[in-house]
Amino acid sequence: MNQSRWQPISPEKPARPVREPLTRDRIVDAAMELLVDQGYEAVSMRKVAQALNTGPASLYAHVANKKELDQLLVDRAAQGMEFPAEPDPEHWQEQLKDCMRSMLKVMRDYPGVARAAIGQVPLGERAMQSTEKMLAILKAGNVPDQAAAWAVDLIPLYVTATAFEESVQRAWEWTEDDIARFVGELRQFFQSLPAEKFPFTVALAASMTSGANGDERFEFGIQVITAGLASFADPA
């Protein structure tokens, strides 16, 4: 045996685990998980990259910036919205209310999405489909073009503001007793105002601090919106 040719056999190196390729969907998945668990302020390109065990630079090949990520989060949430199969001219107002209820439910299911949606026009495909379906309902109710166009801006604005306010209140972690105490103190404050300066506030103090349930107030809002739109509709 030629000892000069003998070489020790090196043990085989363990194979590296195959890393799952980075995609836009995986980035949105990670961002949405951060959004729900830690709130909107926790979602940054750096933290999303950390959640995916990569560097922020890797994300920019799929998502241009934080603004685009917000758009993607809103669009992902929009896929949970429910719409009627077909617009019904006889029941368009109730269909529109159901759309608003569904939108609020989605934003409650994904706390923080409301903050991501504020101040921008959602342009993702699913969000645009939501707009398209609401326009179809409004036109089935003979709402004029301009009123319908403004309505699909007003409706998300109202629902988003409602959801955002709820998320802020949730962050306070108030108990039911805390809420009852606050409402009682607020009522007393209104009633203690000088009646000569605030006659209606004093007189309506009880009404202004009743119906603290968010759903009751939301239902009032969507009733006002649909009734207002109906007033524009062509009876023919």
As a whole number, mean pLDDT of residues 156-185 equals 86
In contact, 230 and 141? CB cutoff 8 Å: yes
Q: In the prediction, which pLDDT does 168 show?
A: 82
User: CA-CA distance, 110 to 36, in Å (whole number)?
Assistant: 6
Summarize the confidence of residues 187-214 as an average pLDDT: 91
pLDDT at 13 > cutoff 80: no
Using a 10 angstrom Cβ sphere, with 0-12 exposed, 13-18 middle and 19 or more buried, the burial of residue 43 is buried
Would you say 212 and 179 are in contact if contact means Cβ atoms under 8 Å apart? yes
Tell me the residue type at 180: A
| Measured distance CA(75)–CA(62) in Å, rounded | 16
Question: Which is nearest to 77 in space by CA: 14, 187, 163, 8?
Answer: 163
Residue among 198, 87, 212 at smallest CA distance from 140: 87
Three-state SS sequence of 101-157: HHHHHHHHHCCCHHHHHCCCCCCCHHHHHHHHHHHHHHHHCCCCHHHHHHHHHHHHH
For residue 35 the two structure tokens come to 């959004």
Other CB atoms within 10 A of residue 50 CB: 14
Residue 73: which pLDDT band, with cuts at 50, 70 and 90?
A: very high
Band of the pLDDT at 169, cuts 50, 70, 90? Answer: confident
Q: Would you state the pLDDT for residue 9?
A: 55
Domains and CATH numbers, the chain: 24-63 (1.10.10.60), 79-232 (1.10.357.10)
